[in-house]
Amino acid sequence: MVLTSEHVKYFKDLLGGNSAVIDGLSRDATEDLEAFNSDWMRKYKGKTKLALKPESTEEVSKVLKYCNDKMLAVVPQGGNSGLVGGSVPVYDEIVINLSRMNKIRSFDEVSGILVVDAGVILEVADNFLAEKNHIFPLDLGAKGSCQIGGNIATNAGGLRLLRYGSLHGNVLGIEAVLPDGTIMDDLSKLRKNNTGYDIKQLFIGGEGTIGIVTGVSVLCPQRSKAVNVAFFGLESYENVQMAYREAKGQLSEILSAFELMDGHSQNMLHAVSQKKRPLEGQHPFYCLVETSGSNIDHDGEKLEAFLEHVMGEEIVSDGVLAQDESQKLSLWSWREGITECLGHWGGVYKYDLSIPLPELYSLVEDTRERLTSAGLIGESDDYPVVGVVGYGHMGDSNLHLNIATRRFDKEVERKLEPFVYEWIAKRNGSISAEHGLGLAKKAFIGYSRSHDMIRLMRQIKNLYDPVSQFKCQFASGAANDKSAEW
């Protein structure tokens, strides 16, 4: 259905003033709609003429019911920091942006259960929890802009999944609005509730395909009193694996992050930031290890003993232990800063993959070799590719393979796809470990999921959203017009 001024009038009457309805139908609102129409990578362009910012669950419900009745396609949007183009209205869907639903509803200091609106920014929630000596069980580089609803919808993994586990375990309840406007109140605060299907799980990682998450209850752990960070350089991926094994053995319950960065990623970050490197010499691989425990001296000693051991055994070549808060942040910046710096030259081809650990880094080498022998990598502007880098969440077997380019280039893309996906399928890995399918990976789901699994997903999608009001990552064939092409 085509959007009309009558529809816009309904939304204005419902949501009030202009700040809640960004209307590009009755006037030229290209600039105002720009932020809703483009993604963080500036890779995907949307064409919406209308963005709505409801302030309550009831408003979301009325908006969705109306859209359902009128067959108007919608796309939920949180902080718009997603890396697969899932939040962009690539056709002309109405954007439903959750940023005005930003209230912390309650926090129980005994149980650690936090209840929030879906539009609360992750960092805002974590800062609130810090004052109560608790921590949000998810942390990621986009924490300053991503929303908890977006985190739930993507089932974001982030930097400390190895310690706090996945949102599938930490989220206790979800309030969501279904496409027909039904408010699904499953905002339970119970850790145990074996009374039938656990339907909220469908919304965790559901990428906004069956409804809009409006409220979330999350179990938040106690904030650790002692956090230590070490950064070290290694000569081979074999050594990285040995170091990880040792870290698990020696740091066990206090290990809260084990992140991998290859030398290429650090060289590129250095080239962009010009910051002083943490270590004197250069190495093919780097790891960042974080511990979180309750006794600063005891944990520090444990980490120092671990470093001494891995250096003594020549597993690690050089290392540094942060001495204060600012050094911890500085070491983390050599990991968290990679994503942003890679966009410096133009575009980035991003692959977020689960791969069995022994082979995790081989994909980076194989891809680099493939692009080099095709003559696509070089230092001058004649070459489209600037560099091929690997980094990621070693503790979760999650590699980020990134190809930084001077421009998006069809020849580069043809060399990468389906090569990367075939490589992953051969090893029974996943083509999307933590970012989701979105628009970027939608066509490739078959490399990670069987025909039967995709059929089951499509059945669930059709059950919740029979008129295809929302995009579908598993659709083939159509119920209604444009959104069904998703």
Instruction: Check residue 37 for interaction with ligand MLT (CB under 6 A).
Output: no
Interacting partner of 387 out of ligand FAD, ligand MLT, none (Cβ under 5 to 8 A depending on kind): none
Nearer to ligand FAD, 316 or 440 (CB): 440
Smallest CA-to-CA distance from 2 within 77, 76, 70, 96 is with 70
Distance (Å, whole) CA 18 – CA 383: 47
Residue type, 137: P
Binding site for ligand FAD (CB under 6 A): 40, 75-83, 86-87, 98, 118, 140-142, 146-147, 149-151, 153-154, 156-159, 207-208, 212-213, 339-340, 434-435, 438
Residues 311-350 that bind ligand MLT (CB under 6 A): 339, 350
Q: Which helix (H) or strand (E) holds 59?
A: helix 57-70
Nearer to ligand FAD, 352 or 409 (CB): 352
Q: Strand pairing partners for 116?
A: 104, 216
By Cβ distance, which residue is nearest to ligand FAD?
A: 150
Nearer to ligand MLT, 126 or 352 (CB): 352
Nearer to ligand MLT, 42 or 451 (CB): 42
Residue type, 400: H
Nearer to ligand FAD, 102 or 317 (CB): 102
Residues 420-449 that bind ligand MLT (CB under 6 A): none
Interacting partner of 154 out of ligand MLT, ligand FAD, none (Cβ under 5 to 8 A depending on kind): ligand FAD
By Cβ distance, which residue is nearest to ligand MLT?
A: 339
Nearer to ligand MLT, 96 or 364 (CB): 364
Interacting partner of 400 out of ligand FAD, ligand MLT, none (Cβ under 5 to 8 A depending on kind): ligand MLT
- Residue 161 class from Cβ within 10 Å (0-12 exposed, 13-18 middle, 19+ buried)? buried
Instruction: Check residue 166 for interaction with ligand MLT (CB under 6 A).
Output: no
Per DSSP, the three-state class of 334 is helix
Nearest distance in Å: CB 333, ligand FAD: 12
Interacting partner of 187 out of ligand MLT, ligand FAD, none (Cβ under 5 to 8 A depending on kind): none
- The region that residue 60 occupies, defined by phi over 0 for left and psi between -120 and 50 for alpha, beta otherwise, is alpha
Distance (Å, whole) CA 270 – CA 127: 30
DSSP letter string over 407-455? S--HHHHHHHTTHHHHHHHHTT-BSBSSS--TTTTGGGGGGTS-HHHHH
Interacting partner of 151 out of ligand MLT, ligand FAD, none (Cβ under 5 to 8 A depending on kind): ligand FAD
Q: Which helix (H) or strand (E) holds 58?
A: helix 57-70
DSSP 2: -
Nearer to ligand MLT, 49 or 350 (CB): 350
Residues 113-142 that bind ligand MLT (CB under 6 A): 141
**Geometric angle at alpha carbon 136, from 61 and 228, rounded to 5°:** 160
DSSP 102: -
Positions touching ligand MLT (CB under 6 A) are 83, 141, 339, 350, 352, 392, 400
